[in-house]
Structure 1
């Protein structure tokens, strides 16, 4: 129980800080001070962009989320905003999230959310910081730099993802990691080959780097993969990733319903209580807790069902381990 309390009291870290800690092995407070000193108040925003690897973040791979849905982007089966014309320009790459349209047959379209784990400006700043510290250059291959870290070298030699391999990563998901939870992450990781095994033999070096990167920066995509909506978990469906962009089923933030009719508000309140109850009591004996809640944490699908829209602040405690 003492270990649980310690985990619950840990401070949530900014995704940029997590990446710097992963690469540099530095103290989060030191990285935060450096970021504050180096970051201008408002990043430069270009009016439009040409579609390509840089916008998607593919130029960073394999220090990225994944590539499972890239073909959809290049075949124009995923398009930004509510426009269905393929000739319209892309939105600014400085945004954290976009509304998009997704199709499987080029005839029927459905809304999706396209999000970044952290801002493009923060990514670029972190890249320069890592290159300067590890390779003594202003620019470099982020993948090559991260491959040289001691943590990743341990991952390459490991047959199984164990708690010591994720120790020090400040994602709430990994504050109290049980072996059962880590096995579930490996077995259900959607950006690698589907082997259904708890061992990492089926993961290539590239897959391991992408998994480590995602866990270090923002665990939201991992939670959507290991607790899918088709099994009744209150998360939007994970459709795939491309570079630094994540595509999931579209939801409206709960704050959009603050002025809703009383009967709608009452229904959403009851759904919210049910979701929170399922987070504490479920068949798998996992206890979910929030490290932070804001207006964008919960969302509502077009059918009125309430879900957890942003899982990046969720921690998970394995109650089975706590009873052993």
Structure 2
């Protein structure tokens, strides 16, 4: 923040303490491929955005729609953990309003205030016995008397497990043929318990994606990838 005036620094730090959502939308804009809505302006906790619906509205959706949204959700989690800028995003909380869906069927992160960001190039390990530095601004976002959560304690499975616990069962339960549904339910139960020692988040997401990909369709209901899905394996 060397290029900012003292007043700008105070404004930025206070905004981060009160509502980090608009700051994240500006730092990681949708035009660069980040899964957020376009930032048009904010006032307190009010943001202006294009027409969207929360993910909760799709819990009763048709099987092919549910499969498509679940695959998009996995793709968002994958991009948050592995991206060209080497940032690791993790959720501190997820619920049915965390994600939204545009009118073209494209899923995005609706509430960025529940995201934490780790710069993997800077590292997150503290030297044994070293205390994390705190100043007056640290107290804006956390209780100075409490111990802050170490970045090193956030595992690659963190966000996936939360989504398996809170969202995917509501989106995918009771939607598919018995054998397919049995595979999905078994995966979600294992994932919700923390995946155990069966592998990391990337392997788990690939496993679920392999089950879901044959279940989605390519038609005009999915305008964000139609008609491209007829000509490219990417969709």
Q: TM-score, normalised by structure 2?
A: 0.50
